[in-house]
Structure 1
Amino acid sequence: MAELLELLKQSEQQRKEEKERYKEEKRQAEEQRMEERRQERELREKERQRYEEELRQKEEDRRREREEDCLHYEGLIRSLTEKKKD
């Protein structure tokens, strides 16, 4: 009888340990999923920032190019009007 009680206690202890192990594994898996999601968000944010910076740079390049074109054409117009006066 004592042996049966001991076996029952051992079985109960094993069940508790397995249950705790399962809970811990589940908790760790959830933490890992949360960390992966956080890293994915950070990566998307970096990509978004890089894309926005590229857009800003392209806009700045186009603006500078337009200014240069305007200055060039203003110079041409000025030189042509001065030649007509002569």
Structure 2
Amino acid sequence: MRTDATDSEVSWAGTALFGVTLGSLLTLWSGLWLIYLNRHPPDQSVWTYLATGVLLTGLAFLIGGLGLRLVRRQTEEQTA
């Protein structure tokens, strides 16, 4: 583990980790929710739309967090 990390590097890593973690959790739980709603159809379709929205939001956070990590890696390679 590097000990010479600057504040900006720690901020990038924290933001990427937050995005990946939040995205993974939202995707997992909303996926389970959609499976449940598929097996037990609700009276109103708003719940299916809400679960789908949460799933897509989780995927966006997950992809964004992974993308942020890749952008940071490319930035480090160009400045080195």
TM-score w.r.t. the length of structure 2 is 0.45
Please tell me whether Structure 1 or Structure 2 has the larger radius of gyration of its CA atoms.
Answer: 1
TM-score, scaled relative to structure 1: 0.42
- Which is helix-richer, 1 or 2? 1
Higher relative contact order (CA 8 A, sep 6+): 2
